[in-house]
Each structure stands twice: as C-alpha cells, then as structure tokens.
Amino acid sequence: MQSLRWFSVTAVNVVLASVLMTIEGYPEFQKRIPNGNRVPNPCIRSTIWPGVCHQNSAGGGPRNPFGLDFEINGFVWDVTICKKDSDGDGWTNGYELGDPDCKWTVNATPSGVAVSHPGICEPIDKPNCIAKNSWLANCKRF
C-alpha cells in the first residue's frame, strides 16, 4: 500500500511538472526576441500571438517560418535573424518586431513596437502570402 501511494504521488508530480514546463515554455523564448510578448495576431488584430515561433498562436506544436529560422540561429536574437525576412513578406524580422536597426539585446527595451508577425506573411490575403501561409488555418482577416 505504501509503495502504491508513493507511486501515485510521484506520477502526479511528474504530470504536474510536465504541465508547468509546457505552460512556462514559451515565455522564456518570448524574452529572447524584441517585443516577444507583444506580437500582433494577424487573424485577430486586437490580440497578440504569444507562441510567436509556433503555428499555434498559444505555442507548442510545429514551428512557423520564423520559429524554424530562430531555431537554426540557436534561439539567439542577433543581426542574422534580425535582418532575415522569415515569412517572405518583404519586411525584416527586426522591422516587424520593433528592432529595425538590429540593436536590441535581451532585457533591453526595444526601440519600437512590434508591427506585425515575423512568421506569418502579411497581409494574409495578399496573393503572394496565401501560399506562404498555407499552414495558417481558420484565419480570415477582418
């Protein structure tokens, strides 16, 4: 009976730790990019896209083009990822995230605000963006 209770408590702790790691996973990455916690949601403009590196706005699951590039870059914000146009909409990641001069560093205040999402080609209804955003389900702008 004692070993069953120990097993139950251990199992609950493992599940709880996994849930907390999932919930707390993306805020750490948000802090590694300028305005990472204020990236506009192109599907619902009055909201943000907290899982900025993911196809799912809440985070988790497959990465969007910016998330893939950020991973390739070692999850580090620098001139390389800043000057890249991950989503192919003609704007650099730095411009979209409020760091057009690529000078932002972790824990610093960005020089500007995030104006669009670096992993979603915008405007989403523009012909060249429709194919690039084929993974973006159920998103109709306005």
Alpha helices, DSSP H, located in the chain? 2-30, 65-72, 79-83, 93-96, 127-132
d(CA 1, CA 22): 32
For CA atoms 104, 61, 84, 136, give the dihedral sign.
negative
User: Distance between terminal CA atoms of the chain?
Assistant: 59
| Residue 17 CB burial class (10 angstroms; 0-12, 13-18, ≥19) | exposed
- Tens of pLDDT along the chain (142 residues) come to 565 554 454 544 444 444 433 444 468 889 999 999 999 999 998 999 999 999 999 999 999 999 999 999 999 999 999 999 999 999 999 999 999 999 999 999 999 999 999 999 999 989 999 999 999 877 765 4
Please tell me the pTM assigned to this model. 0.80
